[in-house]
Amino acid sequence: MENVLIVGSGCAGLTAAIYTARANLNPLVLEGREPGGQLTTTTMVENFPGFPEGIDGPMLVMNMHKQAERFGARFEYGVVTGFEPGEKSHRVEIDGAWRETRTLIIASGASARWLGLPGERGKIGHGLTSCATCDGAFYRGVPVCVVGGGDSAAEEAIFLTRFASKVYLIHRRDELRASKIMADRVLAHEKIEPVWNSVPVEYLSDDKGEMRALRVRGVKSGAESEIGVKCVFVAIGHTPNTAPFVGHLDLDENGYIIQKSGTRTNLPGVFAAGDVADHVYRQAITAAGQGCAAALEAEHYLTDLEA
Ligand SMILES: Cc1cc2nc3c(=O)[nH]c(=O)nc-3n(C[C@H](O)[C@H](O)[C@H](O)COP(=O)(O)OP(=O)(O)OC[C@H]3O[C@@H](n4cnc5c(N)ncnc54)[C@H](O)[C@@H]3O)c2cc1C
């Protein structure tokens, strides 16, 4: 029987691990398929407080990992595949084997959807990203593009006009799916140029491996052209990693865990922290903050359980 089982080793899971380990709760962290979480896919993180010169993303999570280990957190490379809630404890299936825990902190994140173009993985962090808030400021005075047509693509495009010299908005249709107010704002912006009826087909890098252009194909004409950009922002949505909890936890229409109060879910002893529940802020610091809150709530829950 575990006291605290933490699903995920991104910023949220690792912060929960630091707090619960320091509280002597001997947490077990399941790392999943992406140990360290999304920050391992980026290079420089400039907005995490405490690092005036910025810090390399993988280094930041490695530091958090070491900090949690120092206080006794245990780590396993397990993937949660099933879940059965109980009254005072819950059963979790990890790669086919069942374990029991009094509290569960779900910090399994949300995976950005990518385009599936050749060599895509290796280009992330080298002029390819899914987060304008995170990476927009690196592209001052240069052209960039956003791929997508929904509200988040429209928001990212408008945000990027603060930095970029020009923002191409590449969309497979000839009108945006975004709300009318957002679409009107995008279309009226002098720095944004929509590229309608077009789909990306290839990322083109320079000899240093950084993005230099995106090749697109006209959906109707079939003609291909190159758009010279220093960064491609893919904004076609995220998928929350909640599959094992479907049918047990209250999820919203897009599959994100609904937090009832603080990080509590609809089940006692089950808490959700970070991007798995937050589709609004999606930042390392907000995920870490929620990891802290979930740890404190789990600690209080365990104290009440013993009383
Ligand atoms: C390219 C890129 C650049 C970014 N840059 C910045 C930045 O500069 N600043 C910033 O603040 N934010 C940045 N972000 C956002 C930031 O990375 C996320 O907000 C943050 O990582 C969310 O943390 P998390 O712990 O909630 O989830 P994640 O980091 O997504 O971690 C999820 C964890 O859950 C595990 N997992 C998933 N499913 C399972 C399962 N079934 N069983 C077990 N484990 C599982 C995964 O292996 C992973 O360890 C960036 C994101 C991307 C993609």
pLDDT, average across residues 65-87: 97
Residue 43 has pLDDT above 90, yes or no: no
Instruction: Categorize the per-residue pLDDT at 91 as very low, low, confident or very high, splitting at 50, 70 and 90.
Output: very high
Whole-number pLDDT of residue 299: 98
- As a whole number of angstroms, the distance between CA 280 and CA 259 comes to 13
- Does 284 sit in the ligand 1 pocket, CB within 6 Å? yes
Note the pLDDT tens digit of each residue in 278-305.
Answer: 999 999 999 999 999 999 999 999 999 9
Nearest CA to ligand 1 atom 45: 32
Residue 37 has pLDDT above 90, yes or no: yes
Note the pLDDT tens digit of each residue in 143-184.
Answer: 999 999 998 899 999 999 999 999 999 999 999 988 899 899
- Does 56 sit in the ligand 1 pocket, CB within 6 Å? no
Instruction: Name the residue with higher pLDDT: 42 or 227.
Output: 227
Note the pLDDT tens digit of each residue in 51-73.
Answer: 999 999 999 999 999 999 999 99
Q: What is the DSSP string of 232-274?
A: EEE-S-EEES-GGGTTTS-B-TTSPBPPSSTTB-SSTTEEE-G
Whole-number pLDDT of residue 171: 97
Q: Compute the distance from residue 218 Cα to the ligand 1 centre, in Å.
A: 33
pLDDT, average across residues 201-226: 97
Residue 9 has pLDDT above 90, yes or no: yes
Residue range 2-112+238-306, CATH number: 3.50.50.60
- As a whole number of angstroms, the distance between CA 50 and CA 155 comes to 28
Q: Compute the distance from residue 272 Cα to the ligand 1 centre, in Å.
A: 14
Whole-number pLDDT of residue 250: 98
Q: For residue 131, indicate whether it is catalytic.
A: yes
Q: For residue 135, indicate whether it is catalytic.
A: yes
Nearest CA to ligand 1 atom 20: 284
Residue 306 has pLDDT above 90, yes or no: no
pLDDT, average across residues 194-215: 97
- Residue of 11, 56, 95, 134 marked active site: 134
Which residues are within 8 A (CB) of 137 and not within 5 positions of it... i.e. 6 or more apart? 46, 163
Q: How far apart are the first and last CA of the chain?
A: 18
- Does 31 sit in the ligand 1 pocket, CB within 6 Å? yes
- Does 40 sit in the ligand 1 pocket, CB within 6 Å? no
Strands 74-76 vs 55-56: parallel, antiparallel or unpaired: unpaired
Whole-number pLDDT of residue 42: 84
Residue 13 has pLDDT above 90, yes or no: yes
pLDDT, average across residues 202-213: 97
Q: Per CATH, which fold does 120-234 belong to?
A: FAD/NAD(P)-binding domain (3.50.50)
Q: Compute the distance from residue 107 Cα to the ligand 1 centre, in Å.
A: 9
Residue 26 has pLDDT above 90, yes or no: yes
Q: Compute the distance from residue 38 Cα to the ligand 1 centre, in Å.
A: 3
Task: Note the pTM of the prediction, 2 decimals.
Answer: 0.90
CATH 3.50.50.60 intervals, the chain: 2-112+238-306, 120-234
Please give the mean pLDDT across all residues of the chain: 96
Q: For residue 134, indicate whether it is catalytic.
A: yes
Residue 211, number of CB atoms within 10 A of its CB = 22
Whole-number pLDDT of residue 54: 96
- Residue of 11, 56, 135, 304 marked active site: 135
Residue 24 has pLDDT above 90, yes or no: yes
